[in-house]
Structure 1
Amino acid sequence: MTNPGWGGPYGNEPTPSRSTCVRHPDRPTSLACSRCGRPACPQCLQAAAVGQHCVDCVRAGNANVRQARTVAGAPASGTFGLVTYILMGLNVLAFAATALQSRSLLDNSADSSLFDSWALFPPAVATGDVERLIGSGFLHFGPIHLLVNMFALYIIGRDVEAILGRARYVAVYAVSLLGGSASVMILEAPISLTAGASGAIFGLLGAQAVILLKLRRSPTPVLVVIGLNVVISISIPGISLWGHMGGLVAGALATAGILFLPNVVGGNDRRRASMVGWCAVAGVAVLALAVIAFRILDLRSQMGL
């Protein structure tokens, strides 16, 4: 039976035209991007609010979308905890080196040339061993000291890194370490031997408290942790209270400079605000270095140098 008025392959209606995908010329397609109109195969199309867009239009649209940022101006989509893991690895490597040199896990500070060269000893700093100011922050007295500090760095560091971003996080960590060393130099006994990442970790605690204030959230939990650690530092012999306090103050000041000072000086210009924040971090570092230089001159005069 036939029907002359019926369309379709057996009728006389026009056959739909088929083109080839602009990205895959060997693939015929009857689909097209609803934004630019170019033919595209299903693999090159993505569903949109209206119609479907080709990958080129999706990429162009994403380029115009403002990237989400944290209160510190860091990309909100940054790799979570990467720098923290690197810092942990460096601490573990330094401990492994001292343990191998001393041939002891429990007494890794004995007969270790790395420990002898990097441990913070103020008279040695006064005679030119300035590498001790930073290197001491990667040494630890035994595995328990290492594990406690690395656990604290793991818990605190990743959150601070996510807010500050990698570069600012490294800067705050370094300034905190330097602040702890400066405090040890001027407030601890000259013959004291100090090592450990706890000064920098206390700096991250201070940074975390400042971040919570910026987010208008209560810093009470962090302040309680800081208070407990201060009590422990006072109660247990051999813990450097001043190293902790120096790191805490330096980290808090540097983070406050990053988060609060740009709003006062930088205005709405993001680049200028970022520069103001970096200048604040540099200012804290310069202050720590000035304290260290003053103490070095004092020690050298006492040593008759």
Structure 2
Amino acid sequence: MTNPGWGGAANEGTPPQPRCVRHPDRPTALSCNRCGRPACPECLREAAVGYQCVDCVAAGQRDVRQVRNVAGAVTTQQRAMPLVTYILMAANVGIFLITAAQSRSIMQNQAGSTLFADWALFPPAVVDGQLVRVIGSGFLHFGLIHLAVNMFALWIIGRDTELVLGRARYACVYFASILGGSAAVMLFQLHAVTAGASGAVFGLMGAQAVILLRLRRSPAPVISVIAINVIISITIPGISLWGHLGGLVAGAAATAAVLYAPQLLGAGNNREKAVTVGWVCLGAVVLVPLAVIAVRTLQLRASFGY
């Protein structure tokens, strides 16, 4: 008769020791409190009562309802980092560095930069078919100070807005704001050359005002900042007032579509339906500046004799 170890022979009349379900080569006297299956110490996790195997822990986590905010975005630790805001900032800075390298100047980067010349918003060029200017102009800046001001504003405003709306909807609101600014310039500043993320930043200001209203908090601080910036846009020459106002309206409208449309259309009590309705309404808002740009382009082509 032998004295068994972990893998040795058992005494006569003693049943064999159970094996871990995940590691069949490991005998164990332990088991999961939830499913009752044998498990080795490596496969067990401490629970509220006793220990559970890693499979039951994972299943329990899936069953836990995710916490969502007022916009329906999941609020988890992984999503705490405003990734889209940082990507947008990196894109703006990267494009600025390209224009600065082409022009060999960080203060006069628009002079001599082919990228700047190809992407700056100039309505007659858009009418000529250069549609990239409608979006591309939102990533160009006139000099280092212009870039720094807009990126600081995006960093301050964008992070909180992204965490409330969620990454995908936040990105849509951002680009809807750029489109809104471009549409307003196409309508009211026909012969102006405009560029900058200011329209998108104004759109995020409008988004924050709508978010505060939805949370039943006072939007007065954000509205005060918007008013100050509008006054600056009016009083200082060379600033695209219509680009700012167009972005502001588009950003606020896109956010309202996400936060208010599901309740107004009776989908507020069904989360999945509310998310779908919000996306549909957000898409409809994005289509408005696109339609304005398309109609304006056709109108100008007719007047230019194209």
Equivalent position SS for 1:178: helix
Look up the match of 2:7.
none
| Residues 4-23 of structure 1: pairs in structure 2 closer than 5 A | 19-23=18-22
Separation of aligned partners in 2, 1:296 and 1:24: 68
How far does the alpha carbon of each residue in 1:90-145 deviate from its partner, in whole angstroms, 9 at most, with x for none? 11111111111111111100011111111001111111111111000000000111
1:151 matched to 2:162? The reply is no
1:67 matched to 2:66? The reply is yes
Q: Are the equivalent residues in 2 in contact too, given 1:262–1:274 (CA < 8 A)?
A: yes
Look up the match of 1:261.
261
| Residues 94-109 of structure 1: pairs in structure 2 closer than 5 A | 94-109=95-110
Q: Are the equivalent residues in 2 in contact too, given 1:17–1:30 (CA < 8 A)?
A: no
Look up the match of 1:82.
83
Separation of aligned partners in 1, 2:254 and 2:177: 8
Look up the match of 1:45.
44
Separation of aligned partners in 1, 2:118 and 2:288: 25
Look up the match of 2:224.
224
The alpha-carbon deviation at position 40 of structure 1 amounts to: 2.2
Separation of aligned partners in 1, 2:215 and 2:135: 31
Give the structure-1-normalised TM-score.
Answer: 0.89
Equivalent position SS for 1:29: coil
How far does the alpha carbon of each residue in 1:126-168 deviate from its partner, in whole angstroms, 9 at most, with x for none? 1111111100000000011111111111111111111111111
Identity, % of aligned positions:
63
| Residues 29-40 of structure 1: pairs in structure 2 closer than 5 A | 29-40=28-39
Separation of aligned partners in 2, 1:17 and 1:32: 15
User: When the two structures are aligned, how many residues end up with a matched partner?
Assistant: 291
Give the structure-2-normalised TM-score.
Answer: 0.89
Look up the match of 1:10.
none
Separation of aligned partners in 1, 2:53 and 2:282: 45
Separation of aligned partners in 2, 1:281 and 1:303: 34
| Residues 1-305 of structure 1: pairs in structure 2 closer than 5 A | 19-77=18-76, 78=79, 80-188=81-189, 190-267=190-267, 268-305=269-306
Separation of aligned partners in 2, 1:266 and 1:134: 34
The alpha-carbon deviation at position 231 of structure 1 amounts to: 1.7
Cα pair distance change 1:217/1:16, threshold 3 Å? farther
Separation of aligned partners in 2, 1:63 and 1:264: 31
The alpha-carbon deviation at position 303 of structure 1 amounts to: 2.6
Q: Are the equivalent residues in 2 in contact too, given 1:175–1:281 (CA < 8 A)?
A: no
Q: Are the equivalent residues in 2 in contact too, given 1:117–1:132 (CA < 8 A)?
A: yes
Separation of aligned partners in 2, 1:43 and 1:229: 59
Separation of aligned partners in 1, 2:210 and 2:117: 36
Q: Are the equivalent residues in 2 in contact too, given 1:257–1:277 (CA < 8 A)?
A: yes
**2:196 alignment partner AA:** G
Equivalent position SS for 1:224: helix
Separation of aligned partners in 2, 1:295 and 1:37: 69
Q: Are the equivalent residues in 2 in contact too, given 1:136–1:194 (CA < 8 A)?
A: yes
Q: Unaligned regions of 5+ residues in structure 1, if any?
A: 1-14
The alpha-carbon deviation at position 28 of structure 1 amounts to: 4.0
How far does the alpha carbon of each residue in 1:42-87 deviate from its partner, in whole angstroms, 9 at most, with x for none? 3322222222211111111111111111211121122521111111
Separation of aligned partners in 2, 1:210 and 1:160: 10
